[in-house]
Amino acid sequence: MSDNRTAALKFAQDNQARFLDELKEFIAIPSISADPTHKPQIQAAAEWVAAKLTALGAANVAVMPTGGHPVVYGELMAAGPGAPTIAVYGHYDVQPPDPLDLWETGPFEATQRGDNLYGRGASDMKGQIMASLNAIEAVLKHGGLSVNIKFLIEGEEEEGSPNLAPFIEKHKDLLACDFALNPDSGMLAPDLPTISYSLRGLAYFEIRMSGPAQDLHSGQYGGVVRNPANELARLIGGMHDASGRITLPGFYDKVRELEADERKELARLPMNEAFYLDQTGAPVLTGGEQGFTPVERAGGRPTLDVNGIVSGFIGEGQKTVLPAKAMAKISMRLVPDQDPEEVHGQLIQYMQENADPGVTWEVVFMSKAVASMAARDSDGVQAVSQAMESVWGTRPVYMRVGGTIPVVGDMQQILGADSVLVGFGLPDDNLHSPNEKLHLPTWQRGIDTLIHFFFNLEQ
């Protein structure tokens, strides 16, 4: 191990108490993005982060306006134009702390009990931001960075980052980078370092169907006119075949198939049938396509789910109504290289080809996010992987995340930058719930991991 690396790790060790104090100070700012009355606190958190970046020696530090809460930008470009540039992503906003009475100690008075630090944002993701800044501080003090860094710390992630894509688009040149480090992911267990290299995308639709001009009496008109609730059900039913495959025309044309070695990696994840049965309480795991394991179906295959459906009379008792309208919210989780716009076209084609002429319908495209994937053999992923192995003594697991983080797809689409998703939160951190906590030994290993990561990039 290089002297610098050893010294940087020691620096982190020696500064544990200060790092923890700074994290507590950050948690104390109630930067609740969803609450309009907390706008001053959001601003305060952004300025606090900006001050930290300045203290690190970052240049061009700015609290930059967006259509909503500001983005904090700053850069460390000393490695020079020949060196790679990494965007370090984070979000300084947090979830609301309600219900307050379930917290054992105040959500904004970070409190250590045993190995854990309790407080809103401790794990999601003020702790992760600080781990990144602490690691960079240690590296800067002991040999300096071999890469350039651009910080992009937003304030609306807990609201779905509604203003981030336009911001990235607008500041495309400023934010240009080779890849991104996104520590907003987590680990599957304290002894299981985890790299998330792929996220699913999303295409979310509302299908609005009309039959008769008004609700009808099912006795007078049942059997005469097509019932839009029956018809919508029939159409939804037909969107999967008996093997669980989605029947929209061309839906699988661009699906990137799971590679053999990828399936082998995914099989290492501690997420077998028993795990999913326990997590979901489902009687058996019969969602998705035949021929794939649950973990493959969850992360590596596209889906089509009804998120909501409503028609007619849904109160207590009975009403013999033949409803005039029916509505369903339907979303598809997409995998590389599916295009949400193309999926939109496929859904419309399916409806055109299959809907009965006794109904009219409209497909509203509510939102979209592209799937993303970082090459597992890329420099960034390999640098993280080796760093984790150095700290934990075990090769990390590679995970495909079934959910969607819009910023990852946006950075891939707008900046051409893959994201390496890491993070040192744990499944029992109570994210978005009372008594959110951060497991401090894992967090400290996380700082060490990021120190190794930056040194590994030198190679």
Q: Which residue's CB is nearer to its own copies, number 11 or number 204?
A: 204
Instruction: Return the DSSP state at 108.
Output: T
Q: Which residue's CB is nearer to its own copies, number 70 or number 201?
A: 201
Q: Which residue's CB is nearer to its own copies, number 102 or number 224?
A: 224
Q: Which residue's CB is nearer to its own copies, number 323 or number 423?
A: 323
d(CA 375, CA 367): 26
d(CA 71, CA 90): 10
Q: Chain-centre distance of CA 99, in angstroms?
A: 24
Instruction: Return the DSSP state at 411.
Output: I
Least distance to its own copies, CB of residue 392, Å: 24
Least distance to its own copies, CB of residue 136, Å: 30
Report the length, in residues, of the chain.
459
d(CA 371, CA 57): 35
Instruction: Return the DSSP state at 229.
Output: H
- The pair phi, psi for residue 405, each rounded to 5°, is -115, 105
Least distance to its own copies, CB of residue 388, Å: 23
Q: Which residue's CB is nearer to its own copies, number 45 or number 324?
A: 324
Q: Which residue's CB is nearer to its own copies, number 149 or number 298?
A: 298
Least distance to its own copies, CB of residue 79, Å: 36
- The pair phi, psi for residue 96, each rounded to 5°, is -60, 150
For CA atoms 264, 270, 276, 277, the dihedral sign is positive
d(CA 121, CA 107): 9
Least distance to its own copies, CB of residue 216, Å: 6
Least distance to its own copies, CB of residue 391, Å: 27
d(CA 32, CA 271): 33
